[in-house]
Each structure stands twice: as structure tokens, then as C-alpha cells.
Amino acid sequence: MLDERALDRALAEDPDATLAMVADLVHATDERLRERARRLAARLVIDRSRSGRVVRSGASRP
């Protein structure tokens, strides 16, 4: 079971270390843990990319 609150705290405190830990879990020997880590990693990367700075491009850029 995943403690979502603990994960959120870890991401807030040290996002790089937390993402590195999840990346390590993707290579776990336990099949269920490995699959959960893969799904979590994909979700975290998408969530992090959405929360970044907005980059504007194109002709209408101020």
C-alpha cells in the first residue's frame, strides 16, 4: 500500500530524491512492487511537468 501523504511530503521536501527512489523501485525484483512503481513514476512525471513554469512561444509572445 502506498501512503499518498508521505509521498506528497517527500516530494515537497526533496523532489529529486523522491523521484530517484521511485526510479529505483521500477527495477525491484518483486513484480507487484515493480508494476506499482512504474505506474507511480509515470503519474509523478506527468504531474511534475504540469506544475512547472509555463513557456510561451510563437509570434504573440510578449
Residue carrying C-alpha cell 523521484: 19
9-19 tens-digit pLDDT: 998 899 889 98
Sorted by where each begins, the domain ranges of the chain are 4-50
User: Sign (positive/negative) of CA torsion 40, 52, 16, 23?
Assistant: positive
26-41 tens-digit pLDDT: 999 999 989 988 988 8
Say if pTM beats, i.e. exceeds, 0.75: no
Distance from C-alpha of 11 to C-alpha of 5, rounded to nearest angstrom:
10
